[in-house]
Structure 1
């Protein structure tokens, strides 16, 4: 047998795998041409944010992406938690990064929701733990897509490398199952250097003032990101404009708007041809898009 033929089955396998990975990523980008329903910390209007019940509600509703903020525990585990500190949504205090995973998962991240929203209270929410990203991936696997934020990267050194390692371990990038967003351009560039094919979104905050928007700066974002995540309101005032959306799209950027919970606002943004919305109530948005 000629020497090169001994390697032919391996070459066929590698080529087939590479083609499958390319097709999966291409399918993800194709799907992003349609309007995206992004469940903000899960269905967090009806269950405690970033907990399993919130994620399960969002997944069952048919949301396109489960959105979560990712940080590092003191012992290097990736955890799904929004705030830099624990006290708003748990019975703990202090910075999340000061505690190891075992300690964090002894906290109660559900009872606060029952107290804040007694009309939605559920005994099953009491004692809900902080989730590790590994637990989320093991629960939903490739049956869901994930929209993850590198949260407070200045407070979470090493977050980008740890996240890419986890995404590769579960084949989330190759299978077209994930987008990563951040307010930090530096964090996104670090992710791009680690994994060039990882879809990225630059988060922006439009303030409630009379300063003109720097629409030309949107062109720079196309160098490393497929889109922008931008707020609809600031201080109860609508700050996003239809012109901003059109300009971003002209630059080749998708526009995903956060966090939109009233159907009137949702319909406005659908009419403005936003590419997707983050919402605490994915079922409300799905009523308008299905």
Structure 2
């Protein structure tokens, strides 16, 4: 089972920052999850919330600020003085650093009211096209996820080589039909929503199942015993389950 650092490694460094990426690398993680959204002038930046106040010294919504304004904000002091002057990164800069560290990235596309789905997906595809031109092997190092099915539809059209996962909180009754229709390889759900029977059904149907946000080793081991492919964690949990809870080889399915 894979341990994926949530928003970098959110209890070790400010979320969605280069410092968080470095913390995940220091913890020996091979995957991180990040959130991306568009600035007012269509720059792709890493940020989770709609509003700036929780994780920066700014105010108002991110979408009403330009990149020039956003890059001036302190995105680290709220977490700790150690991270004073940490900045909101551009997706392109973050991915370049992640690939240099050989870290794979789950990009969650964030959409809030009045955000335009096609605009967001188009900008993501353009950023990746620029990185492709530099000879990077994107499909093996990236995964897209979103709560918004239309985002996954557009990404399949624009960047078909990168795998996709549907994000849900509660697992819907028609999960299999949705995954098949969207062409997704995985379902990402809240860990409390996953029962042993549902995990077995998803895996038997040929899909991967991953869970967020798991911060206790005991729960990680339980999920590994169910065959969960990956968990998202704020903490550097053990990357492998205990011997009595070895997960099956998901890549062989």
Same fold (TM over 0.5): yes
> Cα–Cα, structure 1 residues 288 and 246, in superposed 2: closer, same or farther, change >3 Å?
closer
**Inter-partner Cα distance in structure 1 for 2:114 and 2:232:** 25
Cα distance, 1:168 vs. partner? 2.0
Q: Which residue does the alignment assign to 2:124? A: 163
Determine the C-alpha separation between the residues in 2 that align with 1:185 and 1:173: 26
Contact 1:178–1:199 (CA<8 Å) still a contact in 2? yes
Counterparts of 1:1-290 in structure 2 under 5 Å? 35-114=1-80, 123-141=81-99, 143-152=102-111, 155-157=114-116, 158-171=119-132, 174-206=138-170, 214-223=172-181, 224-233=183-192, 239-281=193-235, 283-286=236-239, 288=241
Local SS of the residue matching 2:237: helix
Helix, strand or coil: the match of 1:160? helix
Q: How far has the Cα of 1:51 moved from its partner? A: 1.4
State the 1:275 CA deviation.
0.8
User: By how many angstroms is 1:201 displaced?
Assistant: 0.3
Deviation at 1:124, TM superposition (A): 3.0
**Which consecutive unaligned segments of at least 5 residues does structure 1 have?**
1-34, 115-122, 207-212, 234-238
Say which is worse superposed, 144-153 or 216-225, in terms of deviation: 216-225
The higher radius of gyration belongs to 1
Deviations along 1:113-158, one digit per CA (max 9) or x if unpaired, are 12xxxxxxxx331121111111112323352211001101654320
Structure-2 separation of matches of 1:60 and 1:273: 27
Are residues 135 and 231 of structure 1, via their aligned partners in 2, closer, same or farther at CA, if it must alter by over 3 Å? same
**Alignment correspondent of 1:22:** none
TM-score of the superposition, structure 2-length normalised?
Answer: 0.87
Structure-1 separation of matches of 2:13 and 2:186: 29
Where structure 2 has 5 or more consecutive residues not aligned to the other structure, the ranges are 244-253
Name the residue aligned to 1:26: none
| Root mean square deviation, CA, Å | 1.9
TM-score, structure 1 length as denominator? Answer: 0.76
Give the number of the structure whose residues are more often helix, by fraction: 1
Shift of 1:194: 1.3
Name the stretch that deviates more: 244-253 or 136-145: 136-145
